[in-house]
Amino acid sequence: MHPLAWLLSVTWLLVAALVAVIRGVHGAREGRAHLAARRIKSPTIYLFSAYLLVAALVTPKSPGETTSPLLWLAFAIPIANALAAVSSVGQTQPKGLTRAGLALLHGGAVLAAAACILAIVSPRFVPIWLGGPGSP
């Protein structure tokens, strides 16, 4: 992966984590931590992650892969979900622009994590536009 793509991905992940911590602490101080806990306990994300885990275990590795990217995504997605849930309790009713910004931030964190995972465990499959094989 191109160094600029690495920098952007890692920075995006760090900003998402920092925003989640700041907003989560603010929400907890105002007594909304139970809302984040309720969102984190929702089983949907864990069922999807279990599906990814099973797919990772039954899909043969391609040449050049150290492990399946699905295996690592199965762990990254619940973490990203937890960050988004903690971040969501920072305000009682965020305005439209704040809500859209948080969705972009935390949705982008999932994509940034996926790019990093792909570059580490399956570098042959990194797209050209991210600086994968065959890129200038």
List, for residues 46-90, the tens digit of each pLDDT value.
Answer: 999 999 999 999 998 888 788 899 999 999 999 999 999 999 888
> 86-111 in b/e burial notation, b at 16+ Cβ within 10 A?
bbbbbbeeeeeeeeeebeebbebbbe
In the predicted structure, residue 130 carries a pLDDT above the cut 90: no
The residues, ordered by sequence, that sit 6+ positions from 97 with a Cβ below 8 Å of its Cβ are none
Q: Is residue 53 in a domain?
A: yes
Query: Cα dihedral angle (40, 44, 6, 134), rounded to 10 degrees?
Result: 180
The three-class DSSP label of residue 122 is coil
Q: What is the pLDDT of residue 88?
A: 87
Q: Is residue 136 in a domain?
A: no
Q: Is residue 135 in a domain?
A: no
Q: What is the pLDDT of residue 136?
A: 61
Total of domains in the chain: 1
Residue-range definition of the domain harbouring residue 67: 3-130
Q: Is residue 66 in a domain?
A: yes
In the predicted structure, residue 134 carries a pLDDT above the cut 80: no
Q: Is residue 57 in a domain?
A: yes
CA diameter of the chain? 52
Q: What is the pLDDT of residue 135?
A: 66
CA 97 to chain centre: 21
Pairwise CA distance, residues 55 & 78, whole Å: 16
Least confident stretch, 63-77, 87-101, 115-129? 87-101
Pairwise CA distance, residues 131 & 2, whole Å: 4
Question: To which residue do tokens 């622009």 refer?
Answer: 97
